[in-house]
Amino acid sequence: MLSFVLPGIRPARQPGARLAAIAAMIAVLPAAGSAAAGDSKVIAQYEVTLAGIEIGKAAFVVDINANTFTTVSNAKVTGVAQIVAEGKGRAGARGTLVKDKLQPGSFALTADSDSRHLEIQFGFDKAGAVKNLQVTPTPQPRPDRLEVTDAHRRNVLDPMSATLFAVPGTGDVIGPEACNRVLPIFDGVARYDLTLSYARQDTVAAKGFSGTAVVCQVAFKAVAGHRLGRKDIEYMEANNDISVWLVPVAGSRVLVPFRISVATKVGTCVIEAKSFSTQHTEARAAVPAEGGTAR
Task: Tell me the whole-structure pTM to 2 decimals.
Answer: 0.84
CA-CA distance, 49 to 261, in Å (whole number)? Answer: 10
pLDDT for the residue 70: 95
pLDDT for the residue 83: 59
pLDDT for the residue 26: 31
* Mean residue pLDDT across the chain: 83
Q: End-to-end CA distance of the chain, in Å? A: 51
Tens digits of per-residue pLDDT, 98-132?
A: 877 899 999 999 988 777 888 999 999 989 999 99
Tens digits of per-residue pLDDT, 241-264?
A: 999 999 999 999 999 999 999 998
**Domain limits, the chain:** 2-278
Tens digits of per-residue pLDDT, 186-214?
A: 999 999 999 999 999 999 999 999 999 99
CA-CA distance, 105 to 91, in Å (whole number)? Answer: 14
Cα 18 to its chain centre, rounded Å, is 11
Q: Which of 217, 219, 211 has the alpha carbon at shortest distance from 173?
A: 211
Query: Does position 225 have pLDDT exceeding 60, yes or no?
Result: yes
Tens digits of per-residue pLDDT, 46-70?
A: 999 989 998 889 999 999 987 899 9
Q: Could you tell me if 234 and 220 are in contact, meaning their C-beta atoms sit under 8 angstroms apart?
A: no
pLDDT for the residue 80: 60
Q: Exposed, middle or buried by CB within 10 Å (0-12, 13-18, 19+), for 208?
A: middle
Residue 244, number of CB atoms within 10 A of its CB: 28
Q: Which of 54, 52, 51, 47 has the alpha carbon at shortest distance from 24?
A: 47
Query: Does position 37 have pLDDT exceeding 80, yes or no?
Result: no
Between 23-32, 153-162, 286-295, the lowest mean confidence (pLDDT) is in 23-32
